[in-house]
Structure 1
Amino acid sequence: MEDDARRHDLRAGFDRAAEDYQRTRPVCPPRLFDDLIDRAGLEAGDRVVEIGCGTGQATVPLARRGLAVTAVEPGGELAVVARRRLAGFPTAEVVTCLFEDWRPPDDAPIEAVVAVNSLHWIDPALRYAKPHALLRPGGAMAVAECRWARPADAEPFWTEVQEDYRAVEFEGSPPPPPERIGPWHFPPEARGLFEETASLRYPFQVRYSADDHLTNLATQSGVQALGEARRAEFLARVRHRLESLGRPTLTATFVGRLTVGRRA
C-alpha cells in the first residue's frame, strides 16, 4: 500500500506541471517509432492502447503513422494537453482513467499495447497481465523509454552538478555513459505472457536553454520525491550554478530503448 501511495503522489506531480512537462520532456527519436510499427507488425488503422500517455509525446507520433490510438491517462491536466495536440487525428482518443481501471468499450481486437516512459507507474500485479488480457492472440506489447546518459565528452556542468545532487541526498546514481545503457528486456514475470522479439537502443541528444533545463528538472519524479524543502534547495543550487556559468545552453544526452514482445 505504501508503494501504491508513493506512485500515486509522484505521478500526480506531472499533472500539476502539464505544460512544463510537454515543453521540456525529451521525445524518443522518430526511428524508434518507425521500428515500433515495423517490429510490432502494425499497419495504418490498427487499434492500439497506450498506457499513460502524458501530454502525448508518443501518442502524436503513433497517430501520425496512422494508428487508431486509445491513450489512457490518469492526469486530468495532462489529458487536456494531449487532447489539444491530437485534435487533428480523428482516430485518436484520450481517456482520463487509471490504466488499471480501464476497460475496452467493445470487442474490437487490440493489436498492440504501448507504454512509453510509463510502465513503471503501473501496479506490478497488472503491469504485464493486463496487456496480455487485452491483446488479441499474437498481438504486441511495446515498451519504450528515454534514459539520461553522460558521455565522457559531456560539458563540465553535467559532472559538476552532481555536487548539488549529493548536497540534497538525491536518491540514485549519476547517469552512466551511453554505451553502458544496454537494451532493456522483459523481466521473468513477463516471460510466460510475452515472447520478446526485439530489443533496440537509440542514443540521441537534446539542446536545452538554462531555463528549460531547470523546468525539466522540476517535472522529474526524483526531484518531486525530495519533498518541498529539499526540492526548493536543489533547484536553487542548480539555478545558481547555471547563473555562475552565464546561463549556458546545454546538450543533454539520452538513450532511447524499445522492446517488443508477442502475446504468448
Structure 2
Amino acid sequence: MPDPSAVAVFADLREEGRELDALVAELSPAGWAKPTPAPGWSIAHQIAHLHWTDRAALLSLTDAAAFAGMVEEALKAPDSFVDAGAEEGAALAPAELLARWRASRAALDEALAAASAEAKFPWYGPPMKAASMASARLMESWAHGQDVADALGVRRVPTDRLRHVARIGVRARDYAYAVRGLPAPVGEFRVELTPPEQSSDPEAWTYGPADAPQRITGPALDFCLLVTQRAHRADLALTATGPDADRWLDIAQAFAGPAGPGREPESAR
C-alpha cells in the first residue's frame, strides 16, 4: 500500500502546478514575455525552467543513466546551464511551451506514484526519496510561481502547501552556511510559524527544540518568501532571537545551488 504521507505530497504538488497553470494558461504572447523579478527572465523563462527541472526529476526516477548525462552537461557549464535551459524553453511558442510543461508534470506525477517509497534517487544534491523529491518540486514550483504572480500583479492566497516549503527551509539551514563557506551554528534553532488564514490547522507550525535559545517567529508565508529569496527580510514580519538566528535570516535559502543574491528591499527599488 502506498505511503499515505507520500500520496498527500504528490497531491499537493499536482495542486501547486494547477494553480500556476491557471495563472498562465490564458496569457497572450505579450503576457508570456512579461519580465519577472528574476533579472532577464520573463514568465516564459519561469515556466521553461520548471519544465526543464520536471524533466530532470522524471529522468532521475526512471532513467538514472540519462539523468547522469544531464548532470555531466551541467558540470561543463555550472554557471550557465540553468539559464541556458530556461532560454531554450522560452524560445518556444507559448502554446508549445505550455503543452510541454503540462506533459512533463503529468509524466512526473505518474513516475512519483510508481516509485518505490524507500528507494533514493539521484539529484544535483544528495539523493532523495520520491516524497522528498515531490516536496522539492513543490517548493520550486511555488517559488517560481511567486515570480509569475509578481509579474502579473496577482496576490496568491497562501495555503497549507507552504508546510513543504517551510520544512525544506528549516532543514536547509546548514546548507545556507556551507554554500557561503561559513561554519554552521551549533545546535538547532526553534522556528515557530503562524499558519495562513486559510489553514485547516490553526496551531503554529513548529520546528526544533522548544527551549532552543536561538529562535525565529513570524508568518509562515513570510518565512517561505525569505527562504526562497522572493522577498528581503526587511519587508517581512519575521523576528529573530539570538545572534545566530539573526544571521541566518540574512542568508537562508531553501534551494540547492550557489548562494543567490536575494531581493532588494522594497525601499531600494
Using the size of structure 1 for normalisation, the TM-score is 0.29
Using the size of structure 2 for normalisation, the TM-score is 0.28
Higher strand share: 1
Higher RCO (C-alpha 8 Å, min separation 6):
1
